[in-house]
Amino acid sequence: MKRDEKQKQAEALHEELQKARTVILSGFEGTTVAQDTELRRKVASTGAKYQVVKNTLVERAAQGTPAEPVAQKLRGTTSLAYTTADPVSLAKVLTAYAKENPTLAFKAGVVEGRVVALKDLEAIASLPSREELFARVLYLLNSPAQRLAGTLSAVARNLAFVVQQGVKEKKFEESAGS
């Protein structure tokens, strides 16, 4: 590959890494083509990107980005997964895949500008997804209003029941002397 092509690749990857909220570097020695294809499909389903890159390309492209601290002195084969969207879904896919395929080994990662270790990545993967968190917040916001509506309707329902019982027992008839 010519020098200009390498430079263009580094610049394009630099732009991607600049926008990425989550960057995860891993080694995949011993992974078959079928396993790699499966991982690419799963990562793509989260809206993230996955690619196998040369270590020198990652080092050059990561300069001046949040991923710079983790892209130094890489050894062996390296794959790069990154996303501008939800870090939780990418972490879930990668940790689940790594449990099924131990050939995928985490090297380093950056989530929301913070360098994370493997245990941190597993903790992130155990979090609920963004949509699930929104659903929980909406439930919590809606719950007091539902209880208030239920209480107010119960008062009206109970009053109607008392009036109905009074009518049945003829407690509301006019007296003859009035």
pLDDT tens-digit profile of 20-70?
888 888 887 777 888 888 888 988 888 889 888 888 888 888 888 878 787
Which residue intervals of 20-129 are DSSP H helices? Answer: 33-45, 55-62, 87-100, 118-125
Pick from 29-43, 89-103, 119-133, 143-157: least confident: 119-133
Which three-class secondary structure state does DSSP give residue 105? strand
pLDDT at 175: 55
Q: Phi and psi of 24, rounded to 5°?
A: -125, 125
pLDDT at 160: 83
CATH of domain 3-127: 3.30.70.1730
DSSP run (H or E) holding 165: helix 130-168
Beta strands 78-83 and 22-27: pairing type? Answer: antiparallel
pLDDT at 118: 67
Beta strands 105-111 and 22-27: pairing type? Answer: antiparallel
pLDDT at 105: 81
How confident is residue 114, by pLDDT bands cut at 50, 70 and 90?
confident
Q: Where are the domains of the chain?
A: 3-127, 129-178
Which three-class secondary structure state does DSSP give residue 48? coil
Q: Return the DSSP state at 82.
A: E
